[in-house]
Structure 1
Amino acid sequence: MISLDEAVTARLETHGERFEVLVDPDAALEMKRGEFEGDLEDVIAARDVFENASRGDRPAEEALEEVFGTTDPLEIIPEVIDRGEIQITAEQRAEMQERKERKLINIISRNAINPQMDDAPHPPERIENALEEAGFTVDPMETAESQVDEALEALRPVIPIRFEEVTVAVQLPPDYAGSGQAKIREFGELDSEEWQADGSWVGVLTFPAGMQNDFYDLVNEVSEGEGETQIIKEKGELDTR
């Protein structure tokens, strides 16, 4: 469960009654969109349903039975989140917006390249400044991922930018293949892999072009500089939808 200090109120008004639950705003919004994959315990700050959460008042059991057909809070809470509204203060909205903005900038910085500078990645500071210049405002009630396409459209008149992906083959020597391949395969989409007769491992991965330096650093780290890489497919535009 989250702390009460971090929680906001999800409120459902129906049948002349008001029902409130205390939730994590981001997780509750994901649950409303059907995108949340965690446990209910990760969403809530209390296993309780209130008539007025700020005062700690609880609704009558008869009202719970009439509206939800149960008095079990763990069955009622998801319905309040799904059917109700997430109540956030101006301060909480600003905090959510800042958090989503940082995540959006990180996504773009790690995935995008500058086609006018030898496909070099854009540093986060450049993305942040360009978004500000473009007048783009992050919606705190939507996921950062869902706003990437709109942000890119706003950025293109300001800076040269493109989302691309690259396919790279990597070979790890026998002494590093066992533990190293487990970390390498998590970096991107593993297209294929093969164990060689000498115990070495060869994998082919596709990942955002802006992450090439991170990938090469990882290969060097897990193989103590003895791993080999080779680009086997030229960069292609990455579908961000």
Structure 2
Amino acid sequence: MRDKYVIARYDSQGEHFELIVDPDKAFDYKMGKKISLSEILISDEIYRDAKKGLKASEESLMKVFKTLDINKIASTILLKGQVSLTAEQRQKLIDAKRKQIIAFISRNCIDPRTNLPHPPTRIELAINEVRISIDPFKDVEEQAIEVIKALRTILPLKVAQVIAKVKIPQKYASKAQPIISKLGELKKSNWLSDGGWQGEVEIPAGMQVEFIEKVNSLTHGEAEVQIVRG
């Protein structure tokens, strides 16, 4: 094993997975660079505890990833999970995520006084002024909602909104409902007699595609989503 390595961690559906990876190459991969996974992985094993050498079971891998393909699983863990980073690497991720959030706000929000978008530079200055922390691993859309709320204390912002009606089957409801509720403003929430969940969430109009993709990801495409108001 190479001397320089870190652990990449990913949690989903009550399961925990770990990879042993090259820190620099894993970081570059998360930043979008095209790197062969064989260069990133120190070990071709998926672990539930890498330090103890405990491998993840095939049952848990199939449950979460729906495959035993090491490359597909490793890619998901690297992109969606957390990798130990140096301070410099973490700051680069934060800066990249900040730019994505600023772009999202500029695309979805307007100044109600002029009905025109705020320039990205104005949004960036406002973010710096309110001193809101950016999580390098948290979804852009979810963080953007929190940032918009904070910015409204100093910057007039109006978001074009839609209502998304969501119905989730029982087997995904308990885990998916708290996450979906945080993607926007929860307007209605109802637990069904069969254990499923039905609700209405107000979201930015520009977030419709991302919202539907997130719901489908949480429910493996088995949820019902309907956009009912523009």
* TM superposition score category, shorter chain reference: 0.3 to 0.5
Structure number with bigger Rg:
1
Give the structure-2-normalised TM-score: 0.45
